[in-house]
């Protein structure tokens, strides 16, 4: 797909999205004028019925867990679409090295200070991302937010090193398996409720003690699966963008 075609598609779909967004904004209530009792009911009942202190996560992974499944599917399709748009076409492989890896040796590296700082942030980012994912039912955060934080760690590895290092860290097969396990785990968790004679995505685990890590029943489990799917999806997009960008630069140089 040529750059001109991509620009035309972007303008067309961007205009449609802008029109839909403007129509949606027109229907929003004025600031400070909450219309319905939905939020009030959730604030009152969530801690008592779900044993979690983050109402947003309770909505995402319990009260309206089926909607979150749809959002994960949208993310998955977005990742697939991005990779397809950025795929290497015919005649675009002449700049690959013998191992099939695109080289970026001629691209200027960041300063030493930037590289050292980036490398030093990798470990804390991984820990912080895992914390956000696993504590999403207790504090603001969850699988979606934590997954994006975790996906930033391989990007910092690229900044501190190069594309080859990034590819070793973000092994393509491992990333694909992780994304499949994340989405598949979410689906399977929903079926457990049906197997035990209840509804899809119905909680089937002990609720635990409010405020403790192992509480909220399946909300914690669904957060973890979502975090895995989001992190893997974001890394796949980074992989595609970095490889495509470097290939374009090499083709222009050639």
CB-CB contact of 205 with 64 (8 Å) = no
Q: What is the Cβ-side half-sphere exposure of residue 192, based on CA atoms within 13 angstroms? A: 15
Q: Is the dihedral of CA 136, 141, 147, 150 positive or negative?
A: negative
Q: Which of 67, 58, 64 is nearest to 219 (CA)?
A: 58
Q: pTM here? A: 0.79
Q: How far apart are CA 137 and CA 223, in angstroms?
A: 8
Length of the chain (residues): 254
Tally the domains of the chain.
1
Quote the pLDDT of residue 95: 47
What is the mean predicted confidence (pLDDT) over 123-152? 94
What is the mean predicted confidence (pLDDT) over 129-156? 94
Q: Using one digit for the tens of pLDDT, what is the confidence trace for 56-115?
A: 999 999 988 899 999 988 998 999 888 888 876 544 444 444 445 445 555 667 788 988
State the Cα torsion 8-9-12-18 to the nearest 10°. Answer: -120
Q: How far apart are CA 247 and CA 174, in angstroms?
A: 23
Instruction: Classify residue 25 by burial, with Cβ atoms within 10 Å: 0-12, 13-18, 19+.
Output: exposed
Quote the pLDDT of residue 244: 80
Q: Which of 182-191, 192-201, 243-252 has the lowest mean pLDDT?
A: 243-252
Q: Which domain holds residue 142?
A: 3-253
Q: Which of 12-26, 35-49, 146-160, 216-230 has the lowest mean pLDDT?
A: 35-49
Residue 173 carries which DSSP code?
H
**Local confidence band at 224 (pLDDT 50, 70, 90 cut-offs):** very high
Mean pLDDT of the chain: 85
Quote the pLDDT of residue 89: 54
Quote the pLDDT of residue 182: 93
Q: Which residues, other chains included, contact 221 with Cβ-Cβ below 8 Å and sequence gap of 6+?
A: 185, 189, 205
Q: How far apart are CA 60 and CA 222, in angstroms?
A: 10
């Amino acid at each position: 797909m040529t750059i001109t075609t991509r620009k035309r598609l972007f303008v067309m779909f961007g205009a449609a999205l802008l029109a839909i967004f403007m129509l949606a904004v027109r229907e929003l209530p004025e600031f400070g004028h909450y219309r319905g009792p939905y939020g009030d009911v959730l604030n009152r009942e969530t801690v008592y019925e779900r044993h979690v202190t983050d109402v947003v996560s309770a909505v995402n992974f319990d009260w309206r867990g089926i909607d979150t499944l749809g959002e994960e599917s949208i993310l998955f399709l977005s990742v697939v679409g991005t990779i397809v748009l950025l795929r290497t076409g015919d005649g675009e492989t002449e700049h690959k090295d013998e191992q099939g890896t695109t080289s970026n040796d001629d691209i200027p590296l960041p300063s030493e200070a930037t590289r050292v700082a980036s490398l030093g942030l990798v470990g804390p980012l991984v820990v912080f991302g895992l914390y956000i994912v696993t504590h999403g039912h207790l504090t603001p955060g969850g699988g979606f937010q934590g997954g994006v934080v975790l996906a930033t760690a391989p990007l910092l590895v690229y900044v501190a090193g190069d594309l080859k290092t990034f590819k070793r860290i973000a092994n393509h097969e491992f990333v694909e398996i992780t994304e499949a396990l994340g989405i598949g785990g979410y689906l399977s968790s929903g079926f457990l409720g049906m197997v035990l004679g209840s509804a899809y995505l119905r909680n089937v685990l002990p609720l635990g003690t409010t405020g403790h890590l192992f509480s909220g029943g399946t909300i914690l489990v669904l957060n973890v699966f979502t975090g895995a799917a989001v992190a893997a999806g974001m890394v796949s997009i980074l992989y595609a963008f970095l490889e495509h960008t470097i290939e374009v630069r090499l083709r222009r140089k050639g």
